[in-house]
Amino acid sequence: MNILNLPNFNVLDVKETEDDYQILVESVSPPSMCIHCGFADLQRFGTKKQFFYDTPMHGKRVGITVNRQRYRCKNCGSTFFENLWDMDDKRMATVRLVEYIQKQSLNRTFTSIAVEVGMDEKTIRNIFRDYVSFLAETVKFETPRFLGIDEIHILKKPRCVVANIEENTIIDLLVNRNKETVIRYLMNLPNKEKIQYVAMDMWQPYREAVNDVLPKAKIIVDKFHVVRMANTALEDIRKAHRKSIEPKQRRQLMRDRYVLLKRYHDLTPQDMLLLDLWTANFPKLKMAYDLKEDFFKIWDSKSRVEAYDKYQQWVASIPDEMKAAFRPIVTAIKNWEEEVFNYFDHPITNAYTESLNNLVRVINRLGRGYSFDALRAKILFTEGFPKQKVNGHSKKSQMRGFGYLMQRPSEVLWSSDQTYLGVPISTLISAIEEGLI
């Protein structure tokens, strides 16, 4: 039996050591014609031994030495070596080993793969980069009408997340959130003129990048990033207040803090009892809670004018002793007034923001020991995760698992003619938690 399971080769010799198999082979598929002129009369013209790495076998590294035959054409006189269909001449490895490395490089460190297969770590890294580049060229995400720009902390650094708001999907993950990085990404978007609205948080480089590249797009500050500042102010007041109370009460207030952060209409009867207890005994907490609730109510307004009037009334109602805690909100809205109140003309929001926090949790657990490029590839390019656009409608691909990502380019399930709408965040979270990626 052919120990290699490569039918195009005949095994001549096998040497086994403690760590390796060294296998000598020759091809059993000689060329039928000259590759230069197509003439069918060829003569053998010497051989050359060439070494190729192969996938590990029985826990040992495998090296294949090929007695590669050279041929001379009797018609044109040119010489050439026989084609080795199972070999990748660029990497001096079998095609199946390159496929194996593509798969493993998105799951493991380059060093561990290099030790396992016997290749140089630099070669492993190059195979990974070539494959990700191939996928980046093949997999095209549609430029959305409603673009979301947010951030996610992965591998201890803030990264820019680009989303399709209408489809609630991620369409790219940038290495950082710098203005130059965002500009470069936006400049390379196909059909970028179709973008009508851009939702973002209050990060100045995002605004500058969008204004530079997409001057006709309307910027809308995601309301989630605005209203959560009221919770932050309330938390600051609670933390300052606990210094003046007994240790037992302090611990209890820490346990009950969730009640203060909840919206009033979401409180259970038990929550209301706790809230009444704390606000009755500590009037400042009641004032802060009421201010937080009134600020949230601004976003229930039906028009820009109504919202602006309510906001002015809210600012005027802040007591002097509360102004320091709520000043960051007032300052932020002053600096982003146009973009904040654009929401009431165009109620666009990054609805996925809460899900993004869950994604941070699972990705950071997944990402220990991986590079950012590997994580980005796992998120964007796992076959079966992105939604497809079929006849103008979105269609989610069947989830196939991560193994389907690793196929030969000629057999890959991705289509360069297919438009993809991005990767649903809920799908990513489920896949990571279930061990599919």
What pLDDT sits at residue 384? Answer: 63
For residue range 1-16, list pLDDT tens digits in order: 578 899 899 999 999 9
Two tokens, residue 111: 């060093």
Residue type, 154: I
Cα dist from 245 to 208, 242, 249, whole Å: 46, 5, 6
Percent of the chain with pLDDT over 90: 52
Asked whether the predicted pLDDT for residue 53 surpasses 90, the reply is yes
Least confident interval from 67-71, 148-152, 264-268, 370-374: 370-374
CA pair distance 205, 356, nearest whole angstrom: 21
Asked whether the predicted pLDDT for residue 392 surpasses 80, the reply is no
* Confidence band of 403 (pLDDT split at 50, 70, 90): very low
Asked whether the predicted pLDDT for residue 236 surpasses 60, the reply is yes
Q: Looking at residues 351-359, what average pLDDT do you find? A: 68
Of 244 and 26, which is predicted with more confidence? Answer: 26
DSSP H helical ranges for 143-282: 179-187, 204-213, 223-241, 247-255, 257-261, 269-281
CA pair distance 342, 219, nearest whole angstrom: 7
Q: Looking at residues 277-290, what average pLDDT do you find? A: 84
What pLDDT sits at residue 400? Answer: 39
Q: Looking at residues 324-335, what average pLDDT do you find? A: 96
What pLDDT sits at residue 354? Answer: 60
Of 383 and 337, which is predicted with more confidence? Answer: 337
For residue range 406-436, list pLDDT tens digits in order: 333 333 445 556 778 888 877 777 776 666 6
Average pLDDT, the chain: 84
DSSP H helical ranges for 302-352: 304-316, 323-335, 337-341
* Confidence band of 265 (pLDDT split at 50, 70, 90): confident
DSSP H helical ranges for 282-404: 283-298, 304-316, 323-335, 337-341, 353-366, 372-380
Q: Looking at residues 80-89, what average pLDDT do you find? A: 92
Residue 161 and residue 417 in contact, taking contact as beta carbons nearer than 8 Å: no
Indicate the burial class of 218 (C-beta count within 10 angstroms; 0-12, 13-18, 19 or more): middle
Q: Selecting from 3.30.450.270, 3.30.70.120, 3.30.1360.120, 3.30.420.10, what CATH number does the domain 141-221+350-433 have?
A: 3.30.420.10
Of 247 and 190, which is predicted with more confidence? Answer: 190
Asked whether the predicted pLDDT for residue 255 surpasses 80, the reply is no
Asked whether the predicted pLDDT for residue 405 surpasses 50, the reply is no
Every domain of the chain and the residues it spans: 9-136, 141-221+350-433, 223-344
Of 62 and 2, which is predicted with more confidence? Answer: 62
- Residue 101's H or E segment, with its range, is helix 95-104
* Other beta carbons within 10 Å of 435: 9
Strand pairing of 157-164 and 146-154?
antiparallel
What pLDDT sits at residue 404? Answer: 35
Of 132 and 179, which is predicted with more confidence? Answer: 179
What pLDDT sits at residue 435? Answer: 63
Of 379 and 353, which is predicted with more confidence? Answer: 379
